[in-house]
Amino acid sequence: MIYTFQISDVSAQSQSIINMLLSLSKDYDFLKVVEDEKIELTPEQEKELDRRYENFLKNPKNGKTWSEVKQRLLKA
């Protein structure tokens, strides 16, 4: 089983945990630290996400739950 943790490095406490895990990964071969690259959105993508979020806020009942979407996809 593989576990994935996402830790933001914005605080001193989170940076301390990151440093501890980096140190442990040197001693234990079963522990691997992978640093994700930050993915930047284009202005167009940000605008589209904002538009969709505003639409959701105005019309929350128009959406589908994950269960509904999953069920529809599994039937296809």
In this prediction the pTM is 0.44
Distance of CA 63 to the CA centre of its chain: 21
Residue 65's CB is within 10 A of a number of other CB atoms, namely 8
> DSSP secondary-structure letter at 63?
S
What amino acid occupies position 35? E
Check: CB of residue 21 under 8 Å from CB of residue 11.
Answer: no
- pLDDT the model gives residue 62: 92
What are the pLDDT digits (tens) for 43-62? 999 999 999 999 999 999 99
- pLDDT the model gives residue 13: 93
Q: Give residue 72's pLDDT band: very low, low, confident or very high (50, 70, 90).
A: very high
What are the pLDDT digits (tens) for 2-44? 888 888 878 899 999 999 999 999 999 999 888 887 778 899 9
